[in-house]
Amino acid sequence: MEFLNRLTKCFIISVALTSVLKDTPTDASSYSIKVKKYVCIDTPYEETKLLSCKSIPRRNAPTMVLLTLYVPKLYDHILVKVMLFFKFSTYQPFLITISREACEVIRHPPQFGIERHVYDIIEETLPEIITPCPIGNRTFNVTWYLHDRHAPKNIPAGEFKLQFQALAQPNVTLFALDVYFVVRNGGIISFTKP
């Protein structure tokens, strides 16, 4: 029975993945994304100073995050990781696992696929952070929220975590954020937990 459940989920995920890659339009009326909270993780950071990280719920508007990060040093290489997790009984990696060197990406923005999608979102909503390297010697002060239109199309209904990490090579975390959100009624592709 457990096996059958897993098999069903695998099938649904591959269907979902296929529709994401095809970028099928979503029936907006049957689809909603709600961010529950933003959480800065792995704090305190060794080389940067997180001056604020506030998750701000708003009435009739998406939950927002207010971040202030002081980055005293300059960096020529910053590894950016973006991972999406879907909550089965625990959070499992799902659809998006990106690990790229940010300075290189800024020099040569990705042309296709999920990476292009993520880059476009950052370029649209946080243009001030896309500057040629070296990056640093400044305070980043941003307010941000995940728009409905940013989410991959036709992901299944359920609970998700989007994790963003910025690392100085090889393993010093400069900043890391978890975004918890819920997708409701993901069109035809939706399922409930057993």
Ligand X SMILES: *[C@@H]1O[C@H](CO)[C@@H](O)[C@H](O)[C@H]1NC(C)=O
Q: What is the DSSP letter of 169?
A: T
Choose which of 10, 41, 51, 126 interacts with ligand X (CB under 6 A): 51
Stretch that binds ligand X, among 83-91, 94-102, 137-145, 150-158 (CB under 6 A): 137-145
Nearer residue to ligand X within complex by CB, 92 or 137: 137
From 130, 172, 182, 191, residue interacting with ligand X (rule: CB under 6 A): 172
Q: How far apart are CA 126 and CA 36, in angstroms?
A: 21
Q: Where are the alpha helices (DSSP H) in 29-109?
A: 102-107
By C-beta, is 53 or 172 nearer to ligand X?
172
Contact status: 141 vs ligand X (CB under 6 A): yes
* Tokens coding 154: 């036709």
The answer to the question of residue 43 lying near ligand X (CB under 6 A) is no
Task: Report if residue 41 touches ligand X, rule: CB under 6 A.
Answer: no
74 binds ligand X (CB under 6 A): yes
Q: Which of 18, 92, 99, 137 binds ligand X (CB under 6 A)?
A: 137
Contact segment (CB under 6 A) with ligand X among 7-15, 80-88, 96-104, 135-143 equals: 135-143
For tokens 């991972």, name the residue: 83
> Residue 39: which residues within 8 A CB-CB, separation 6 or more?
53, 55, 177, 178, 180
- Whether the upstream peptide bond of residue 170 has omega within 30° of 0, thus cis, is yes
Residue 64 is a binding residue for ligand X (CB under 6 A) = no
Q: CB atoms < 10 A from the CB of 5, how many?
A: 13
Is 126 a binder of ligand X (CB under 6 A)? no
CA 112 to centroid of chain Cα atoms: 17
